Amino acid sequence: MRVLSFQSRNVLYGEETEIPAVLNNVLTLLNRMDTRLSSIEKNTGKNTTTLSQLNDKFNSLSARVIDAEKDIVDVKSRVTQLEATSHGTGNLFDEIKTKTDKLASDIEHLQRERTDFENRQENMKEKIDNLEEDKCMLNDKLIDMLCRSMKYNLIFSGIEEHRDEDCEDKLRRFIYQDMRIEHRLEFGNVHRFGKSYRNKPRPIIARFLYFSDLDMVKRAGKNLKGTHYGVNQQFPAEIEEKRRKLYPIMKAERKNNSKVVLIRDKLYVNDELVTVSNDEAPREEPRQTPIRPKKRSRVSSTPDRDGHS
């Protein structure tokens, strides 16, 4: 641009004196200016296009900004709602936490009570077990005492019953006539027991003063074989129930000529203890001789057969 200005000054104010030369210079200058203007117009058109594009982009950007502002407003509104909801949720969480803490405390309390109850239950179970052991021990002692008290008793069944009868006299005649024992026996007490049934006499129980008399009568029981009479030693109900289970085994072993010994509720076959339960068949165990404490001398108000007291 400076070069063109300098050239224009030289054409107008130069020292050239010839008019044709001046005109040529002016023409040349005008051509250059025209070329420059054409270039400027061309560039201006390009700039106009660029400005138009920039304007379009600016308008698009403005529209986006407006949309963004709307979105921001919407987001702010939602944030406000979320804050309100969050506050309500926080209150709900606080309430839930309070209830949860209370439930945890109640559960802990219940667990302590359960532990205490289990401990009491365990103690109670232990006490019950001890009581059961004591009960079994007392029951065994009671059965043993009953066995001892019944040791001198025999039960006679099948003897005809009459009203206002003398049981002892009737029993003596039965022993003499049917059991063929001529020896006079000594009784402590003789009576019938149990319920009366039509056409069925009640059994007679006799208490012997001497065990030798009782043993003599028991041995003579074989004379009643084939009759409807029976003679058995008296035992407590628990012992008698166990003996009933052993009777078939005892009879079968006697047929096999085995050595059979029945002591209370214990059956020994060839010196082997036979045990019977509800769930299993009878089995034999080695016989063990119990170790018993030394007995004290028996003091009785009943005199012995030899006259000793």
With 80 as the cut, is the pLDDT of residue 40 above it? no
Note the pLDDT of residue 1.
57
Split at pLDDT 50, 70, 90, the class of 19 is low
Instruction: List, for residues 165-222, the tens digit of each pLDDT value.
Output: 999 999 999 999 999 999 999 999 999 999 888 888 999 999 999 999 999 999 999 9
User: Rounded distance, CA 48 to CA 217, Å?
Assistant: 152
User: Rounded distance, CA 240 to CA 147, Å?
Assistant: 11
Tell me how far CA of residue 54 lies from CA of 49, 62, 86, 230, in angstroms. 8, 12, 45, 137
Q: Between β-strands 230-233 and 153-157, what pairing exists: parallel, antiparallel or unpaired? A: antiparallel
- 264 with 147: CB under 8 angstroms? yes
CATH class of the structural domain 151-234? alpha beta
Average pLDDT taken over every residue of the chain: 81
- For residue 290, give every residue at least 6 positions away whose Cβ sits within 8 Å of its Cβ, in sequence order, or none: none
User: Rounded distance, CA 271 to CA 292, Å?
Assistant: 19
Model confidence, pTM: 0.50
Note the pLDDT of residue 158.
93
Note the pLDDT of residue 9.
59
Note the pLDDT of residue 79.
83
With 60 as the cut, is the pLDDT of residue 11 above it? no
Domain boundaries, the chain: 151-234, 235-289
CB atoms within 10 A of CB 206: 25
Tell me how far CA of residue 274 lies from CA of 44, 234, 247, 259, in angstroms. 133, 22, 12, 12
- 193 with 205: CB under 8 angstroms? yes
Note the pLDDT of residue 166.
95
Split at pLDDT 50, 70, 90, the class of 134 is very high
What is the pLDDT averaged over residues 64-71? 84
Lowest mean pLDDT of 73-82, 111-120, 222-231, 292-301, name the range. Answer: 292-301
- For residue 29, give every residue at least 6 positions away whose Cβ sits within 8 Å of its Cβ, in sequence order, or none: 4, 7, 8, 11
